[in-house]
Structure 1
Amino acid sequence: MRRLRAVAALATVTALAGATLTACGGGTSTGGEGSNASPKTLTYWASNQGPNIAADKKILTPELKKFEQQTGIKVKLEVIPWSDLLNRILAATTSGQGPDVLNIGNTWSSSLQATGALLPWDAKNFAAIGGKDRFVDAALGSTGTAGKDPAAVPLYSLSYALYYNKAMFKEAGISKPPATWDDLVADGKKLSKGGKWALGAEGSNLVNNIHQAFALGKQHGADFFDAQGKPTFTSHGAVSAVKQYVDFMAKNKIIAPGNAEYAQNQSLRDFAQGKTAMVLWQAAATTFEAQGMKPDEWGVAPVPVASGKPGAERQINSMVAGINLAVFENTDNLDGARKFVKFMTSDAEQAHLNKAYGSIPPVTAAQQDAAFDRADTAVLRDTLRKSAAPLPQVPNESQFETSVGTAIKKLFADAAAGRPVTTDSVMSELSKAQQQMPKS
C-alpha cells in the first residue's frame, strides 16, 4: 500500500476475524442486506493517499461531482488517515454504522474477508464493472484468499524499485545501478565512506521489514506460509532471506547503524539530502521533490535479484503494494455502489487518479497513458506486471507482519549494537515469531 500504516491497528483485525459480525450499512439507514433503500446517496471512506487530507479532497471531489452528474448519485466523502482507517473499519463492522464503499490496504484483504462484512466480487459483480480480465493479474492476487471470490477490487497499485543518487554513483566511479545483490554489495562498499552510506533502511518499520523480507524470501524459495496457510518462518529460505537483509548492516556494512531506529521514512530524507546513495522503496518521487531533490538528481532501476533478471518465482523482486476498493455487503445502495466502483475503475478515471497519486493503474488499459512511460513509473509498472507477487493472502497476515517485522527489528538492533547476527540467531528470532502466531 502507498503509505506504511500502523501495525498496532492492523493486528487487531484477527480478534474479530471469524466472529459473527454485524455487516455495515450506509450511514444510519435501515435497508436490508444488499438493498437499494437509498438509491441517490453513497458514503465513501477514502484512504489518505496524498501528502495530506486536504490534497486528497482536492483530487477526489471533482471526480465525485463528475460521478454525480453522470448517475444522479451524491457521494459523501471522508478521507481517513492510515493510522485510523483499520480501526474505523472494524468498528463499523460491529456497530452497523459505516460507509457503503471504502478503500482498504490490499494486504488487509484476506483478514477483512474473514469477517464476512465485505461484498464478494463474484462473476456477476465483476460483470457489472466491465469484467475481471481488465485488471492486472498481480493486483487481483491481492484481493483475498485464493479459491474464494475477491473481497475487493484493485484501485491503486505500486511496487518497489531501487532509487539511486546519480552524483554519488559518478563520484564513486560506478557507471550503472546494480542489477544483482553481489553488485549492490560491491558498489555499496565503494559508496559507504566519508560519513555517507550506500543503502537506506527502516529497521524499526515493521511493515517495510516484511516487504523486503518477503521479496528476498521469494528469491530464496520461501513463502513464509505453506499451502494450508500454516507459518513456515523457520524454513531455510525464510532464514536466509532475513539474514541477507540484516547482513547489509551487520556483515556488509553498507547501511548506517542508525537506520536500525528508523521507522517514519527517515531513509527517504537521508537519500534526498545526499547522505545515502540508494533506497529500496515504493513510489518516492514526490517525497524526494518535497525534500528539495531535483528529478534529474536521482535514477530508478528494478530491485536486484541474484541473476540480474527480474521475473517469476525466484526472480520476484517486489511485493504487490496498493489500495483496493471494497463494498460493505449490506449497503443500502448496492446498485449505486457497483456503479461507483465501475466509475473509479474505468480506464479514464484510473489514468487520472493514478497520475495524481503517482501510483500505477491496476487496470491494464489505463497503463497505456504516457504518464506511466516515464523512467520512474515505467519501472514500477513493469515490476508490477512481471516480477511482483502478493503478500500471503491468509487471515493471519496481520500477525505475520507484526511478529516477523518485530523479529527483523530486533536483529537490526543487534547489528547496530555490534552483536553478532548469525544463522542461529535469525532462526531463534523467527522461531519466536512463529510461536506468536495463532494456532489454527
Structure 2
Amino acid sequence: MGKKRIGLIAGVMLAVMLVLGACSSDSSGEGSDDNTIKVWTMSKALKGFVKDYEKESGVKVDVQVIPWENAHDKLLTAVASGKGPDVLQIGTTWVAEFAEAGTFLDLSDHIKDYDNLSPDNFYDSAIETTQYKDQTIGIPWYVDTRLLYYRKDILGEVGYPNGPETWDDMIDASEKLAARGDGQYALDMPATDPQFPFMLAWQQGWDYDIDKGAENFKEPSFKEAVKLHHLYYKEGYSQTGEGKEFFQSFSDGSKPMFFSGPWDIKTLKDRAPEIDGKWDVHVMPKAENNKSMIGGAHLAVFNNSDKVDKSLDFINWMADPETQVEWFKTNSELPANKASWDDPALADDPKVSTFGEQLESTQALPLIPEYERLGQELLKTLEQINRGGADVDKAIKDYQSKAEKILN
C-alpha cells in the first residue's frame, strides 16, 4: 500500500473519531426491508422526485438529504465504518479522494446490462470524471459548466452587443467599461472559485499532467493565466474586494459581466427582473481555446451495498433522457445525458442551449485527491498578487513549492 493511500485512510479514521458522534450510522440492509434502497443526496428535490420511480418499480427509495457542509464528513464516516447507503451522490471534485479510499463499487462490469448507462450517452468530459484508476465509480447525474453573463445593452455601447468572442475582445471591452468613471468596472471576477484559475490556464493552452506534479506550474501558459487574472485588478477592470452582491452590480450596470453556472439564469430572473431582456449568456471567451470546466454530480453505488441490482436499476432510471429532462424542469440542473438536449425545454431556450454548446468544449478538473487543496492554495497566491502586491514570478515560484509539498 502506497504512502498516499495509507495517509488518506489514516485521515479517514481520524475524521471518524471527530465526527462519528454527529453522524448517523445508516447502513444498507439495516433498518430497511429488502425492497428498499437508501439514497444519500445533497439535493432536497430528490425526495419528492423519486415517487414516480417508486410507482413504476415497486421499490421504496429512502432518500436522506445531507447538507453540503456536512456531506464530506458524513461520507468519511461511512467509508471507515462500512455503514452507508446503497446509492450516493458524489460531486466531481470529490471523486479522486473517495475513490482512493475504496468508497465506490466498480461499475465497469455492470454498465453493459443497462441501456441508459453506456458512456456514449454522456459528455466525454463528464465520463472522464467517473473514471479512476481503470474503475468506473459512478454514472453522471447532472452536469454544469461556466459561461459569461453579460449586459447586451451596456456591452453594445462599447462595441460588443453579442458579447466578446475572444480574450482580446474581453480586454478591449473591459478597458472601455472601466473608463466610464468611478465605481464602474467590467467584470465581477469569481475571486473565491478555485476552479476558475484552472479554466483560465486551460484557455491559455495549459494542461495538468499528473505525472509531472508541481512541475506543471512552471509552464509559461500557467503564468500567462496568472498574469491575465492579475490584469483585471491591476487595471481596475475588476473590483478589489466584494462590493455589492453580484445581481445588484449587474442590474445597475457597474459590473456588466460575470462568469457563472446555469443556476444564475433563475437568480437574475427572480432578483433582477428590471433588466429582463437586457442580458444574455455567451460561451467562454477564446484564447488558445475556450474550454470551461465540467462540474455536476454522479450517482454511485456504495461498496458495501447488498442491493446492487436495485441500486443500478434506480440509477438507470435517473439516467434516462426523459427523467433527466424532468429533473431539469424540477431543479434547473442540466442533463448529463446528451439525448435530453433535444427536448424543447432545453433546445428552445437560447440561454440554456448556450450552456449545451459550452458543454461540448469542457474539461475535467485534475482527478487527484489533492485537487481542492491545490485550488485553495492558488486562490491565496492570487490574493497575494492582486491585493498584496506580490511579484508574479516570485508568487508563482512560491506556489510551486507549496504544490510540491501538498502533492508529496
Amino acid at match of 1:139: A
Aligned match of 2:279:
298
Q: Encode CA deviations 1:192-250: one digit per residue, 9 max, x unaligned.
A: 233221100132x1xx1x32221221223322444465652232221221221122112
For the residues of structure 1 that align with 2:245 and 2:6, how far apart are their CA atoms? 30
Partners in 2 of 1:381 and 1:18 — Cα distance?
41
Partner of 2:301: 327
Paired with 1:230 and 1:361, the residues of 2 have a C-alpha distance of 35
Match for residue 310 of structure 1? none
Q: What secondary structure, in the 3-state scheme, does the structure 2 residue paired with 1:85 have?
A: helix
Match of 2:327? 353
Deviates more, 1:169-178 or 1:400-409: 169-178
Question: Is residue 371 of structure 2 the alignment partner of residue 397 of structure 1?
Answer: yes
SS at match of 1:187: helix
**Which structure has greater helix proportion?**
2
Question: Which residue of the partner structure matches residue 4 of structure 1?
Answer: none
Say which of 121, 128, 136 aligns to 2:123. Answer: 136
Shift of 1:357: 2.7
Residue 353 of structure 1 deviates from its aligned partner by 0.7
Alpha-carbon deviations, 1:157-182, whole Å to 9, x = none?
A: 11111110123224445433111111
Equivalent position of 1:113 in the other structure: 99
How far apart are residue 254 of structure 1 and its match?
0.7
1:144-293, aligned counterparts within 5 Å? 144-145=131-132, 147-172=133-158, 174-192=160-178, 193-194=180-181, 195-203=183-191, 205=192, 208=193, 210-227=194-211, 232-250=216-234, 252-259=235-242, 266-283=245-262, 284-293=264-273
In the alignment, the residues of structure 2 paired with residue 279 and residue 70 of structure 1 have an alpha-carbon distance, to the nearest angstrom, of 43
Aligned match of 2:26: 27
- Per-residue displacement from partner, 1:300-339 (whole Å, max 9, x unpaired)? 1111012xxxxxxx41420111111111011131111111
Deviation at 1:15, TM superposition (A): 5.3
Distance in 2 between the 1:274 and 1:86 partners?
38
**1:63 Cα offset (Å):** 2.6
Cα deviations by residue, 1:96-128 (Å, 9 ceiling, x for unpaired): 332211111112112211011211120323533
1:287 aligned partner, one-letter code: T
Change (3 A) 1:302 1:324: same
Structure 1: which amino acid aligns with 2:186? A
Cα distance, 1:70–1:305 mapped onto 2, change above 3 Å: same
Q: Is the CA contact 2:186–2:238 (under 8 Å) kept in the aligned structure 1?
A: yes
Write the mapping of 1:38-77 to structure 2, written as runs, cut at 5 A: 38-48=33-43, 56-57=44-45, 60-77=46-63
Conservation of the 8 A alpha-carbon contact between 2:28 and 2:84 = no
Structure-1 separation of matches of 2:373 and 2:215: 10
Q: CA deviation at 1:190?
A: 1.4
**1:143/1:324 contact within 8 Å kept:** yes
Aligned CA RMSD, in angstroms, stands at 2.8
State the Cα deviation string for residues 56-87 of structure 1 (Å, max 9, x = none): 33xx3343111111222111112222222112
| Alignment-derived partner of residue 379 in structure 1 | 354
Rate the CA distance shift 1:437–1:108 in 2: closer, same or farther, 3 A: same
Structure 1 residues 325 and 359 mapped into 2: Cα distance closer, same or farther (>3 Å)?
A: same
Provide the residue aligned with 1:340 in structure 2: 314
Compare 421-430 and 63-72 and name the one that shifted more.
421-430
Q: What do residues 235-294 of structure 1 show as CA deviations (whole Å, max 9, x unaligned)? A: 2221221221122112x32101224xx8xx943443244331100111121121232234
Secondary structure, aligned partner of 1:87? helix
**Which AA in structure 1 matches 2:261?**
Q
- Cα distance in 2 for partners of 1:316, 1:175 equals 19
Q: How many residues align?
A: 389
